Amino acid sequence: MSVQKEIDALLKSRRKKSIYLDHAATTPVDKRVFKAMEPYFAEQFANPGGFYDIGLSAKKALTGAREKVAKYLGCEANEIIFTGGGTESDNLAIFGVARAIGKGHIITSAIEHPAVLEPISRLEKEGFSVTRLPVDKYGMVSVKDLEGALREDTILVSIMMANNEIGTIQPIKEIGKAIKKHGGRVLFHTDACQAAGACEIDTGKLGVDLMTLNGSKIYGPKGVGVLYKASGVRILPQILGGHQEFDRRAGTENVPCIIGFAKALEIAQKERVKEGARLCILRDRMIAGIEKSVKKVRLNGHPTKRLPNNVNMTFLDIEGESFVLFLNELGIYASTGSACSSERLDPSHVITALGVSYEWAHGSIRFTLGRSTTKEDIDYTVKMIPRIVSILREISPLNLNL
């Protein structure tokens, strides 16, 4: 059969129902979340800074949301800062600490999200010293390496809790203990945007001083995030104006989205164990199905210490963007990596940090499952993948070895 006939036959296999497998990029708003938000758009719409009934009502709702978030983070309500998203929260944590201290050494990892790596690179150009820790073949940071990198002038360590591309979960609690052994002078920030729906996020138990969360990763609205900042940690605001958010983030609070974030976090944390177990079964079914039906394929990330919904696979001798386009034609929505870098054709910095070549990295696909994902979705996707790979390998000039 010619390649064109194979393609035609493949496309006839499309089901009516589409399959969304890119929950790491963003999640749909949960209906329960939307219901909680709805009154604050057009009914209880007032600015929470207003000293009249409907303003005070909005402020009460804002306070309640802050207390609810603090409950799940194991902290005080005044340690919660609402922001415009995960990126802003990361920037506020990193620039806020650096600007408050003025100089020093920062430690991060090679596989952080650009929202962490880019601010740190900017600070490096301004004279701060930076250590970027390598990771092992599974994307894991070594606690021993981190301890060895700590210096007298180290001011901040920023290590993400769970990687957005390969799903590897870092030993945050152990890292926190190692940092505190250094004398308590070094602040510890973790980006927990991908982890909030799957991991325990009690800040006291984890030993973190700053934590970033994002509404759009936990079935909440886009455009809202949180920065947990422990009492006593000094940061300088990056958005100046009014005195909102304890003088840490100026601007009228986005009350509907903040209400939505709090509700989304509540649902995510209450359901994370049960839903995580369900997703692990589907995730492992997908991995096993792909490995059984496709040759020259590799799982990226840690085999067990990974997010319940993450399947990141490298398919040798293919180009990832073409794979994603074929999947799209079948109504299966996945990605080649971080949605924040999807318009770039460079290979993923996360995949190359695992020690593989650019050619390997270009064949990496990320499938991230969610609440709507079913066994039937997984089985259909696994059935289609070998056919796509076969077509792409027929026209590929590559012939790589595992």
The set of catalytic residues is 340
* Helix (H), strand (E) at residue 387: helix 375-394
| Strand partners of residue 108 | 132, 158
327 CB-side CA count, 13 A? 27
| Buried-state track 241-277, b at ≥16 Cβ within 10 A, e below 16 | eeebbeebbeeebbbbbbbbbbbbbbbbbeebeebbe
Tokens representing 166?
């390969």
Rounded-to-integer distance, Cα 331 and Cα 320, Å: 17
Structure-block tokens of residue 71: 């409950």
Q: How far apart, in whole angstroms, are the C-alpha atoms of residue 367 and residue 20? A: 9
129 DSSP β-pair partners: 105
The radius of gyration computed from the CA coordinates of the chain, to the nearest angstrom, equals 22
Question: Considering Cα of 265, then 267, then 272, then 276, what sign does the dihedral take?
Answer: negative
Q: CA-CA distance, 248 to 76, in Å (whole number)?
A: 16
Return the axis-axis angle of helices 53-73 and 255-293, rounded to nearest 10°. 40
Encoding tokens for residue 158?
């920023």
DSSP string for residues in 169-199:
BP-HHHHHHHHHTTTS-SEEEEE-TTTTTTS
Which CA distances in Å does 391 have to 10, 22, 265, 326, 374? 10, 23, 42, 10, 26
Concatenated DSSP letters for 109-124? ETT--HHHHHHHHHHH
CB 312 within 8 A of CB 165: yes
CA dist 160 and 199 (Å) reads 12
Q: Which of 331, 312, 330, 310 is nearest to 320 (CA)?
A: 312
- Which residue's structure tokens are 């809202």? 224
